[in-house]
Chains A and B, each alone.
Chain A
């Protein structure tokens, strides 16, 4: 068991910066997910922790040891791979005992530890089977057994569930959490699936373009995303983003405005370009405005598409401001599309006109240039009590 620290890690492949000045501190016993879109450098980061890839600059520390240039075998880590990577020519027992027998441990102890590890992953009695006789989920269990049998300081998992079918994946998620609880070992887990990251980890490290965007507990990433990228990446369906500007009355977009009192010192300036972020579940039909913590006046919208999901309905809305209507630009680029999630009991059909309200407590503002978060709710003071659209 050990903490893992990355300090100023950079990895270049030719001219391509795979990972850039990454600082990451993972505590002892923590379950941390590295999450991000493909090509964001998360697997490279993990490989550098494992020692399979050498960083171009920076240091990797596991426990108290600087392991930056140590080969993987000397780091006391274990890894579970996306393609499972059981040795196809070895039985389950031989696979699980591979690392132990390399360390010249006595046969009796190996037997005992393999048995225990297989028990932990609920695969007892399969010692003599070959990997190709096992199902996908069983193979991944054996791979996990191979990892835990050595009692490593850190588990590194590179999308271990990506190749499993959806049902099994959800099941294995809880299994992994159980194993983590049982062993208490530090786990660093790479995934592109934000749902996996949200459900399993103590903290999430969101990566994009080789840079760490945010390292925080899942709900903090969800409720207080550090920037526009984290906001749109975490949460499904993803957050609505609309360009706007700060004015004395509130936030104004091309199609609508959200009245709010803007005071200096909020990090906001008049005429500043911002991006408004609002999650689908924080938009409400005007008729249900009382469900919002702090509803804005309603905004006119038209229902484009409905996606009934069972537990809720996703409503794709076209928000059309008056001015835009008049200049005949309806449906052009300027029209904002918003996604709203409503209760399945709510009656709505396509092409309906549906006024909506925003929950001001859940509105996020991001700087339009840097994408950094400015605030995660807007002030409710001095709300003009009228329906507003952009313009007059």
Chain B
């Protein structure tokens, strides 16, 4: 009797699902969305829980914070110049972004709008760079940036502990993606518009900056924001190309690891600093999300 009721309930549900498949899709959608939300937001929750738990309560921490110490968000700034690290990271990322967008614009223009022999192989070669593991560059770059490579008797400039030692490898690694995005966008601007600009009195470069780039705004913003985020989040070179002192342009990664000393590991400080460090990128993404979405999706589908 009991079994019968369950069976009939299942039956009713199945019948309903067959009649209205939309409701099943809806349920499946909510389950999937919930899954994504948990997997993306849980780390933030965990960081918050970690951050507000007092240092001496951290061991054996469960899913809930052990105590509540919001003062940690002030202490991290008192303990170390975290703001300086964030500032360094923002400046480095901005400089890289500007550098990348300028160069990638010109490259994208060339690849997207001009025809020349060897265009495809060269473009593939540029793209291939972005697939290299950064570690493969590390040792030669380290040698180069510490002035240990001499070319024709001139030793390379000592860039270690300067912004250059970060901006250069960042640009090289993230440029290909921007070139790729901008090539797609610039190639879609009708020839007539560029011709019109040139006839009206601008140079090719002038037409690029006055007409092609403004009309490719979603693409440029996408490339710029992605470059900024990747650079800001970069760990490998950020960690290795300086000695971790804020005055030596050490980026945020050192700011966070700063709380880990030889004698103590201030996990709550590190968690709080991580949360603070996310803020600039979060603001950027919120501001530019519409452009990014249209940039990423329209690249392939435009008209």
Contacts and interface: CB of A to CB of B under 8 A. Distances in A.
Nearest to A84: B192
A82 B199 contact: no
Given A71-B203, A73-B203, A102-B206, A85 B198 contact: no
Interface residues of A, number: 25
A88 B200 CA distance: 15
Interface in B98-144: none
B60 interface: no
Contacts of B210: 98
A205 interface: no
A65 B192 CA distance: 26
Contact of A72 (B190, B192, B198, B215): B198
A83 B190 contact: yes
A73 B211 contact: no
Given A87-B211, A89-B214, A73 B196 contact: no
Contacts of B196: 79, 81, 85-87, 146
Main secondary structure of the interface of A (DSSP, over half): loop
Nearest to A98: B200
B287 to A, nearest CB: 20
Nearest to B204: A71
B201 interface: yes
Contacts of A52: 195, 198-199
B193 interface: yes
B197 interface: yes
A275 interface: no
A79 B193 contact: no
Interface in B199-255: 199-203, 206, 210-211, 214-215
A102 B199 contact: no
Contacts of A156: 199
A81 B192 contact: yes
A77 B196 CA distance: 11
Contacts of A103: 201
A136 interface: no
B195 A79 contact: yes
Given A88-B215, A146-B200, A81 B206 contact: no
Interface string A72-107: 110001110111111111000000001100110000
Contact of A85 (B193, B203, B214): B193
Contacts of A99: 200-201
By CB atoms of chain A within 10 A, which of B201, B206, B215 has the most? B201
B107 to A, nearest CB: 22
B303 to A, nearest CB: 12
Contact of A73 (B190, B199, B214, B215): B199
Nearest to B214: A89
Contacts of B200: 73, 78, 98-99, 102, 146, 150
Contacts of B211: 87, 89
A87 B211 CA distance: 7
Interface string A94-133: 0000110011000000000000000000000000000000
B196 to A, nearest CB: 4
A50 interface: yes
Given A88-B215, A89-B214, A78 B199 contact: yes
A79 B199 CA distance: 7
Nearest to B190: A83
Interface string A38-79: 000000000000111000000000000000000111000111
A78 to B, nearest CB: 7
A87 B199 contact: no
A71 B197 CA distance: 12
Given A71-B203, A73-B203, A102-B206, A87 B198 contact: no
Nearest to A74: B201
Given A52-B199, A72-B198, A73-B199, A82 B192 contact: yes
Nearest to A50: B199
A151 to B, nearest CB: 13
Contacts of A84: 192
Contacts of B203: 71, 73
Contact of B215 (A77, A89, A98): A89
Interface in B138-161: none
A51 to B, nearest CB: 8
A88 B194 CA distance: 12
A83 B196 CA distance: 11
Interface string B252-285: 0000000000000000000000000000000000
Contacts of B206: 102
B195 A85 contact: yes
Given A88-B215, A89-B215, A73 B201 contact: yes
A78 B210 CA distance: 18
Contacts of A72: 195, 198-199
A102 B198 CA distance: 11
A176 to B, nearest CB: 18
Contacts of B190: 83, 85
Contacts of A51: 198-199
Contacts of A81: 192, 195-196
A73 B192 CA distance: 15
A79 to B, nearest CB: 4
Contacts of B198: 51-52, 71-73
A50 B197 CA distance: 12
By CB atoms of chain A within 10 A, which of B195, B199, B201 has the most? B199
A71 B202 CA distance: 9
Contacts of B192: 81-85
B116 to A, nearest CB: 13
Nearest to A78: B199
A72 B202 CA distance: 9
Interface in A206-265: none
Interface string A142-169: 0000100010000010000000000000
Given A83-B190, A98-B200, 17 more contacts: A50-B195, A52-B199, A71-B198, A72-B198, A72-B199, A73-B199, A78-B199, A81-B195, A83-B192, A84-B192, A85-B192, A87-B196, A87-B211, A98-B197, A98-B201, A99-B200, A150-B200
6 smallest CB-CB distances across A and B, nearest first, come from A85-B192, A99-B200, A85-B196, A102-B201, A73-B201, A79-B199
9 contacts: A51-B198, A52-B199, A72-B199, A78-B200, A87-B197, A87-B215, A98-B200, A98-B210, A102-B202
